[in-house]
Structure 1
Amino acid sequence: MSPAKSLFGNRTEPSHDDDVHLTPSQKYGVLTQEAYMEVSGSSVVLNLTGSDRMRHVEPDDFIIHLRSFQGGIERSELRGKVSMAYTVLAPRRLLVPRFYQYLMKSAIYVGALGSTTDQLRDGQSIKYDGFARLDLPEPPPGEQQAIADFLDRETAQIDAMIEAQEGLVSGLAERRSAVISTTLDAARPVSRQRFKHVVSSVRQGSSPQCESFPVLDDEDWAVLKVGCVNGGVFNPRENKALPPESIPSPQHVVREGELLVSRANTRNLVGSAAVVRGRFEHLQLSDKLYAFALGENSPEFVANLLATPAYREQIELQATGASHSMQNITLACLLNLPMALPSPDEQREAVKAIRSRTKVMEEMSNEAERIAALLRERREALITAAVTGRIDPHTGIERLEDAS
């Protein structure tokens, strides 16, 4: 192990006149701003104040960005410039960049990096002094190269398998949507009214300061994220933990049988709906979720109805905000949606039919998601084992512990 500061220096060189503006991200790595906006569909803040307010980046430098404590440090393959808010790490001697790229994105390193700063929150960055507190492995350059080549091969195979499982999930979701639409179309509406006349009550939560991680223990308080309704199925694991010093809000606890609708979400997901199944006495609503009680009407029928193309079109037309970022749908817009409903009994029959016809699809989708999750775990474990020297990159065999 070697001190991190002996391997990487703190590049403070001002940007050059011909430098392109770079954007580091967890998902896409380091791209030019133009490429990032194209691939992500998001806008970024353009720097118009001159090169003296930017920091130069050379190929194979590493950039500590605002969320490095969550996903690691990004390697740049490009020459350019970044905001002064970022820390740029320049190799001090001959290193194999791809080896350190795997190392600095590994779970073991990300955990160590996050521990260098107390009470780290979203929006804060890790400075060079924090990075320099850590020691990094420094195998011989030939070994670094062998490990990087081994991981390139192995992770490419795993990534292909993950992509196949994700493709299966996507295809099943399309088939499920088609079955739901067909079943709903067959239900005969007996009333046409605004959604506000269907709703018996509506609640909304709050968004206190939360941790960046979810809770898995039913005894710990957490606030639901908007992702808990994505896909039309309530996912209680989509939450953020309340810090120990926070005061919970029992009046905002989610209730079984409520119809949850996201107020704020990305364009294709704003207004997503799902029904709470089960009791979750330590999960609070956020202010980005509406919770509706529907009286005698079936919340599951209405959730399926809101997911149909006709209703999605209405919701997306009335949502406000930039199309490439988070959008909002007001309560008034939702309550004024026209709704054609069959009788409550026929709603329940339609829901039974949907459950029966989509059961196998949901089971297959859940299994594909489980396999994809296991593959991601395998990928991470493989990277950790390789960069810490527990796997021989020439044979792919785990090394035995030194008996001495």
Structure 2
Amino acid sequence: MSTVRLRHLAQINPPTPAFDRLADGDELTFLPMEAVWPGSRLDLSRRRRKAAVATGYTRFQDGDVLVPKITPTFEAGRAVLIEGLHGGVGAGTTELHVLRPGSQVDGRFLYYLVNAHSFLKLGEAEMYGVAGQRRVPDEFLRNLLVRSIPLDGQRRIVKFLDIETARMDQMVDLQFQFLEKLRERESAQLDLEIQRMMTEWGSIPFRRFIWGVDQGVSPQCDAIPAGDHEWGVLKVSSLRPGVFLPEENKRLPNSISPDTSNEVREGDLLVVRANTPQLVGSTAAVPRIRRKLLLSDKIFRVRLLSGVSPEFIAAVARGKRVRDLCAAVSNGASQSMANIRFEEVKAWPIPAVTSDVQDAFVKRVSDERARLNALQSRIERQFALLGERRQALITAAVTGQFDVSSASGRNVTDGVGV
């Protein structure tokens, strides 16, 4: 079996003349890392003007294969073949390697190649850097030895894999749709409960439940999360509607003394002050935590009067009336950042119910969320198993472990070991 180094088949991180030819005001597709997913989850909806991404971003064009370079995204197999860019050109996070197929490699074959298990394990072994910031060097890609397969053979493999992986991707898409329907149902039930309480008990402005508010600071922190005995500063991603994620933090350097007056504690009610328009106003109560965490300047901590449940307020804030108010405040904001003032938070309508009604409502909401989370965990496990089978099939095909010509026309996915 003859082999060839990848640099002889594809350009590695090449220049993109099509980007240079754009005028500064021209729009192009923008890809942050959270938008880079294989299959139908790839999000090409974001736009930026050329002038805004002229420096400090990776450039690419239709037909390129993008490979995440940083852990853990690389190991997750999130490489994508890019097609359908706005104007045929894009820019994105610097944490991407760009592979541009040459005349001797089919673009889709190259895409499958960099999603093979063997490729991912070799790349993982070549990573450099500190924990949490390890990256795959472009030298690994340039010097990677791959099987030398004629174009017609590559295309037979591609045709086979397109059919087989499409079946798996369809199963994943259906499960995503099912999960989304369940979330929509939960949201509709929550809105009905809140409306019922407001009809029966009336509502009062949130300010009537508040005796104080805090806003932290955001010093220059390390990019990695804090360890068990280190201080961390919360990132805005630590809050999702009704959910607190303490692992989403940045480590405070040892050279900076923590302001313990900003320490986050169990029972705190946190509200996102600045984030994307979709997430500004996200509210969650802090459960029991073991980490040493500090409030950031983009998050409010609301101090509630005695007898007011922070979990109750967080649940009401997930409802449509509060979400609509936050959306109205965010109108006209940029796609990347919006802000909400605390005066606007204080105007949120809250059902004027007694503490026992609050507790009963919180229990119903918590029970439903727990049921949905359990179902989501089972679905995510199915995603993982399908992903393992998909990767095993790709690996077997591109490395020649079986002849795709003899496998075509029959279902082989169940016969591929994982």
TM-score (norm 1): 0.72
Aligned-pair distance for 1:167? 1.6
- Aligned counterparts of 1:383 and 1:223: Cα–Cα separation in 2: 41
Partner in structure 1 of residue 216 of structure 2: 204
Aligned-pair distance for 1:276? 2.3
Aligned-pair distance for 1:193? 3.9
- Mapped pair 1:43 → 2:41: no
CA gap 1:62/1:169 in 2 versus in 1, 3 angstroms: closer
CA contact (8 A) 1:62 1:74 kept: yes
Q: Which amino acid aligns with 1:324?
A: Q
Q: Deviations over 1:258-305 (max 9, x none)?
A: 222222333232211222223231555444333334242111110111
Q: Which amino acid aligns with 1:43?
A: R
CA contact (8 A) 1:222 1:241 kept: yes
Structure 1 gaps of 5+ residues are: 31-35
- Mapped pair 1:267 → 2:269: no
- Mapped pair 1:233 → 2:235: no
Task: After TM superposition, list the pairs within 5 Å mapping 1:2-401 onto structure 2.
Answer: 2-9=4-11, 11-12=14-15, 14-15=17-18, 23=29, 25=31, 27=35, 40=45, 42-47=46-51, 60-62=63-65, 70=73, 75-77=81-83, 80=88, 89-105=99-115, 109=119, 112=123, 115=126, 118=129, 131-132=141-142, 134-141=143-150, 143-187=153-197, 188-189=200-201, 192-195=204-207, 197-204=209-216, 206=218, 208-211=220-223, 224-237=234-247, 239=248, 242=251, 249=258, 251=260, 253-294=263-304, 295-319=306-330, 322-356=333-367, 360-384=371-395, 386-389=397-400, 393=404, 394-395=406-407, 396=412, 397-398=415-416
- Aligned counterparts of 1:328 and 1:96: Cα–Cα separation in 2: 46
CA contact (8 A) 1:56 1:82 kept: yes
Q: Deviations over 1:140-193 (max 9, x none)?
A: 235533443333223222222222222222112222122222223333547734
Aligned-pair distance for 1:231? 4.3
RMSD of the TM alignment (CA)?
4.8
Partner in structure 2 of residue 33 of structure 1: none
Q: Which amino acid aligns with 2:355?
A: P
Aligned-pair distance for 1:68? 11
- Report SS of the residue matched to 2:104: coil
Q: Which amino acid aligns with 1:138?
A: R
- Report SS of the residue matched to 1:186: helix
Q: Deviations over 1:179-220 (max 9, x none)?
A: 2222233335477344375244535353644447x78x8567
- Aligned counterparts of 2:246 and 2:110: Cα–Cα separation in 1: 36
- Report SS of the residue matched to 1:137: strand
CA contact (8 A) 1:391 1:399 kept: no
Q: Which amino acid aligns with 2:114?
A: M
- Aligned counterparts of 2:124 and 2:215: Cα–Cα separation in 1: 40
Aligned length: 385
CA contact (8 A) 2:118 2:395 kept: yes
- Aligned counterparts of 1:349 and 1:29: Cα–Cα separation in 2: 40
CA contact (8 A) 1:259 1:293 kept: yes
- Aligned counterparts of 1:371 and 1:203: Cα–Cα separation in 2: 41
CA gap 1:339/1:165 in 2 versus in 1, 3 angstroms: same
Q: Deviations over 1:100-123 (max 9, x none)?
A: 11233567646728956656999x
Q: Deviations over 1:302-351 (max 9, x none)?
A: 01111111111111212376353332223343234354432223211222
Identity of aligned residues (%): 28
Q: Which amino acid aligns with 2:146?
A: P
TM-score (norm 2): 0.70
Q: Which amino acid aligns with 1:202?
A: D
CA contact (8 A) 1:228 1:236 kept: yes
Structure 2 gaps of 5+ residues are: none
- Report SS of the residue matched to 2:333: coil
CA gap 1:160/1:236 in 2 versus in 1, 3 angstroms: farther
CA gap 1:365/1:339 in 2 versus in 1, 3 angstroms: same
- Aligned counterparts of 1:65 and 1:357: Cα–Cα separation in 2: 36
CA gap 1:258/1:366 in 2 versus in 1, 3 angstroms: farther
CA gap 1:107/1:120 in 2 versus in 1, 3 angstroms: farther
Q: Deviations over 1:49-106 (max 9, x none)?
A: 99xxxx9978645467998994566545579556799986544551122111123356
Aligned-pair distance for 1:386? 4.5
